[in-house]
Amino acid sequence: MPSLHDLPTPAVLVDLSVLERNVQRMAARAQQHGVRLRPHAKTHKTVAIARLQAGAGAAGLSVAKTSEAEIYADQGFDDLFVAYPVVGQDKGRRLLRLAERVRLAVGTDSVEGARTLAEVFAGASRTLELMLKVDVGYHRVGVEPERAVAVARQIADLPGVTLRGVFTHAGQAYAEETREGVDAVAGHEGQTLARCAEALRAAGLAVAEVSVGSTPTARQAMAVTGVTECRPGNYVFHDASQVALGTCQLEDCALTVVATVVSVPAAGRAVLDAGSKTLSSDQLRPRPGGHGILLGHRSRIAALSEEHGVIAVEPGDSFRVGERVRILPNHACVVANLHDRLWAVRGDVVEDELPVVARGRIE
Ligand SMILES: Cc1ncc(COP(=O)(O)O)c(C=O)c1O
């Protein structure tokens, strides 16, 4: 393995000691609350980290896309949930092949979408397990809780599919400016979904799984009675946004980027070889503020173009050409997807190279 100082930059580092601690902590929390942990593997898109999660007791993996599920199935993961409203007969045919080799569930939030998959499965005399996505306030996808019974009933009536349960993602937590605000979103997430499951059961529908999950809300949402499963993803790495949200401390962040100062063209400006193709353009949450934290410096990365990160140098701070810096990105999940490999380090020792195998798997 190359030494840390010889890695070509920009390079993405994952500190294994921190990663392992994050994996263990979330697994212990889930165990304490008696819920299944189904980590979202879109965060890291690697096999080694998924294996670590499985080894810590994960009940299976969540993925965002059908093609990610195919990659993980190829690698021997046999219990997968595509936590996304999948639509289309083409996807249905791929899911049919997947369902032959793994335990599979797929998200839906409409009768129309579910029907496209149901037709394929019914045509093959097979049954696909569906999870109904419920909107608990993020207002992205998902049926409103009041409509859940009506939609679930129509979906359950379709030949070729059966309802496994309900799921949600309280992404609105990322806009909360205080820890109390995040906790309130988490309580609402768990309670709304558990109530929704009860309403479905009262209407005669079987609901085996009640699945919540985001990294900021996981701890509180999984503690709500009635919740059976939790799907955090980002927690393996954490990032500058999780620190800003109060989800974790700086020392809980496993993923950083090493970059080189390639130019100091004027007083007050230094430029890195890491731009939006390395760090992504994702804003810091809950409030925008630079393009990642420059560890050990007061200055901020004020602007990005594709291959350049422009530092606004604060008085008293300085950078010289050729110097290497470490950056804690705003959003680790997007950073992992931008790179072919992650360098697994323990402190200053490079231990392994982790291929980002599901990188670009977005269909
Ligand atoms: C449906 C769904 N579940 C779970 C997650 C994981 O959330 P987080 O990245 O906050 O851990 C996401 C993230 O986008 C998601 O969209």
The alpha carbon of 50 and the centre of ligand 1 are apart by a number of angstroms equal to 15
Calculate the alpha carbon distances from 234 to 121, 237, 311, 334 in Å. 33, 6, 26, 10
> d(Cα 116, Cα 38) in Å, to the nearest integer?
26
pTM: 0.98
Looking at the DSSP bridge assignments, the partners of residue 172 are none
- CB 291 near ligand 1, within 6 Å: no
Which bin fits 103, alpha (ψ -120 to 50), beta or left (φ > 0)?
beta
In sign, the C-alpha dihedral spanning 256, 258, 262, 268 is: positive
> d(Cα 46, Cα 39) in Å, to the nearest integer?
13
Closest CA to 1 of 315, 346, 357, 358: 346
Calculate the alpha carbon distances from 42 to 55, 127, 169, 243, 342 in Å. 18, 26, 14, 20, 14
- CB 169 near ligand 1, within 6 Å: yes
CA atoms within 13 A on the CB side of 81: 33
- CB 211 near ligand 1, within 6 Å: no
Task: List the alpha helices (DSSP H) in 203-343.
Answer: 218-221, 240-245, 276-279, 332-337
pLDDT digits (tens, 9 = 90+) for 248-296: 999 999 999 999 999 999 999 999 999 999 999 999 999 999 999 999 9
**331's tokens:** 């959003």
pLDDT digits (tens, 9 = 90+) for 320-359: 999 999 999 999 999 999 999 999 999 999 999 999 999 9
The alpha carbon of 251 and the centre of ligand 1 are apart by a number of angstroms equal to 22
- CB 213 near ligand 1, within 6 Å: yes
Calculate the alpha carbon distances from 183 to 169, 170, 276 in Å. 14, 11, 32
- CB 39 near ligand 1, within 6 Å: no
The alpha carbon of 215 and the centre of ligand 1 are apart by a number of angstroms equal to 7
- CB 205 near ligand 1, within 6 Å: no
Mutate to test the pocket of ligand 1, among 23, 26, 37, 40 (most ligand atoms within 8 A of CB): 40
Kindly state the DSSP code that residue 136 receives in the 8-state scheme: S
- CB 330 near ligand 1, within 6 Å: no
> d(Cα 72, Cα 63) in Å, to the nearest integer?
9
Under DSSP, is residue 153 helix (H, G, I), strand (E, B) or coil?
Answer: helix
Looking at the DSSP bridge assignments, the partners of residue 63 are 82
The alpha carbon of 222 and the centre of ligand 1 are apart by a number of angstroms equal to 14
As a whole number of angstroms, the longest Cα–Cα distance in the chain is: 70
Are 168 and 133 contacting, i.e. CB atoms less than 8 angstroms apart? Answer: yes
Looking at the DSSP bridge assignments, the partners of residue 266 are 269
- CB 331 near ligand 1, within 6 Å: no
Task: List the alpha helices (DSSP H) in 34-65.
Answer: 47-55
Closest CA to 161 of 208, 114, 207: 114
Looking at the DSSP bridge assignments, the partners of residue 343 are 13, 353
- Return the ligand 1 atom nearest residue 333 CA: 9
- CB 40 near ligand 1, within 6 Å: yes
Calculate the alpha carbon distances from 187 to 136, 176, 184, 225, 269 in Å. 11, 14, 5, 11, 45
Which residue has the least CA distance to atom 5 on ligand 1? 214
Which residue has the least CA distance to atom 10 on ligand 1? 214
- CB 219 near ligand 1, within 6 Å: no
Which residue has the least CA distance to atom 3 on ligand 1? 169
The tens-digit pLDDT sequence of the chain (363 residues) is 899 999 999 999 999 999 999 999 999 999 999 999 999 999 999 999 999 999 999 999 999 999 999 999 999 999 999 999 999 999 999 999 999 999 999 999 999 999 999 999 999 999 999 999 999 999 999 999 999 999 999 999 999 999 999 999 999 999 999 999 999 999 999 999 999 999 999 999 999 999 999 999 999 999 999 999 999 999 999 999 999 999 999 999 999 999 999 999 999 999 999 999 999 999 999 999 999 999 999 999 999 999 999 999 999 999 999 999 999 999 999 999 999 999 999 999 999 999 999 999 999
